[in-house]
Amino acid sequence: MSVAGLRRAARESVSGLPREFWWLWTSTLVNRLGGFVATFMALYLTIDRGYSASYAGLVAALHGLGGVVSSLGAGVMTDRLGRRPTLLVAQASTALSVALLGFVRDPVAIAAVAFLVGMASNASRPAVQAMMADIVRPEDRIRAFSLNYWAINLGFAISSMAAGFIAEVSYLAGFLIEAGMTMACAVLIFVKLPESRPDRTPGKGGAAGVPAASEPAVSLVTVLRDGRYMSVVGLSFLVAVIFQQAYVGLPVAMGEAGFTPADYGMAIAVNGVLIVVLQIPVTRFIEHRDPRLLLVASSLLAGYGFGLTAFAGSVGVFALTVCVWTLAEIVNAPVQTGLVVRLSPAHGRGRYQGMYTMSWAVAALVAPLMSGLVIDRWGSEWLWGVCAVVGTVAAVGYWALMRNLPQEEKATSEAPAVPAAPEVPEVTAVPEPRESAKADIGTA
């Protein structure tokens, strides 16, 4: 592709999105630039503090349990109180609890504070996803979700490489840096992001032009009774269990094999770098393709990508296995997130997103327990074999489920139903919003 073609593709990838989206995108980037704790918690506990892999798995599981507890509550808060207040409470609480985690030394206290960190950090996810769905038109959502995921992984790639070396000097510095960056994210949300919750007053439209007042009330019971949606949540859980091994099973296995935190940091950073490089072009390639095939293929790549880790014996080979399951992540993330939005009513997005977020939180609870137990009793090779089996089961499930999906909603207005926001900073270099030329997509 020529330079002019690359420039045109880049413009088409970022144009037509509202300024509110770019402030939300910027807050995501700031937050992920300081994301050290979740990545290096297992190494901190096993290498720096001297605890067993089982204890590290227990702490990570409690972190996940905190996310399970907060997911549904945060979803209800997102619908009732609004997206912006939920984000502010979640980010401020995360900053305080992460800073505290760096100072506690008692094993019981570490476990308790890890639980609080899991609660606080997970509470922002339903609000972020619901706000993004509110302010972006349906036909633009796959680009929006992909760009947001790109920001997550740009920050992750930078923070992973930096944190590997920070950890060798001081783990406490990593905790404090993450706390500071998270608080900066809260300040950015407070100053720049308006509320986006759809108005349910009679006569006024909801998000994407859907008249929210005409839609039936949504409760958690409504979500639980939605069979197709809960099936998606269950399959999401299986895929999440696989991806969680990148932050629990993989660092423990590498540590037991004699690799250093810096080695793990370099290997896992490949994940973020590849997503930064490939997320946008891959999204342009897949956005009009069959979502069932995409979800099946991504599940198989995830399972067998981690399965190949059983044969890794050097940092280079570990990095190659990361490349395989990273491709699965690049495809799965926007397709799965868009599918969740597609199956959610506009005025119930918080609750639906909360249930979806809970699937990842439960996975964050189950995956550490599973990986710690399997590695301690049978060795890491068995863990990677289980990942391959789980990926196959998820692929079969998606193939059976993804039939007769409802048609994607279409926007009836050109502008999102949110107040005007200040000009976006120059670093984003985003053109003024224009009419999108993209057609409706198979899954957002």
Domain ranges within the chain, ordered by starting residue: 16-198+218-405
For residue range 253-281, what is the model confidence (pLDDT) as tens digits? 888 778 887 888 888 888 878 887 887 78
pLDDT value of residue 269: 80
Neighbours of 313 (CB within 10 A): 8
Per-residue pLDDT band for 216 (boundaries 50, 70, 90) equals low
Q: How much is the average pLDDT of 313-319?
A: 87
Nearest Cα to Cα of residue 374 among 385, 365, 363: 385
Q: Would you identify the CATH topology of the domain 16-198+218-405? A: Growth Hormone; Chain: A; (1.20.1250)
Highest mean pLDDT among 348-357, 391-400, 407-416: 391-400
Provide the sign of the torsion angle of the four alpha carbons 289, 295, 298, 300, taken in this order.
negative
Per-residue pLDDT band for 204 (boundaries 50, 70, 90) equals very low
Structure token pair of residue 254: 């590498």
- Cα distance between residue 101 and residue 368, in whole Å: 19
- Cα distance between residue 391 and residue 309, in whole Å: 14
Reported pTM = 0.64
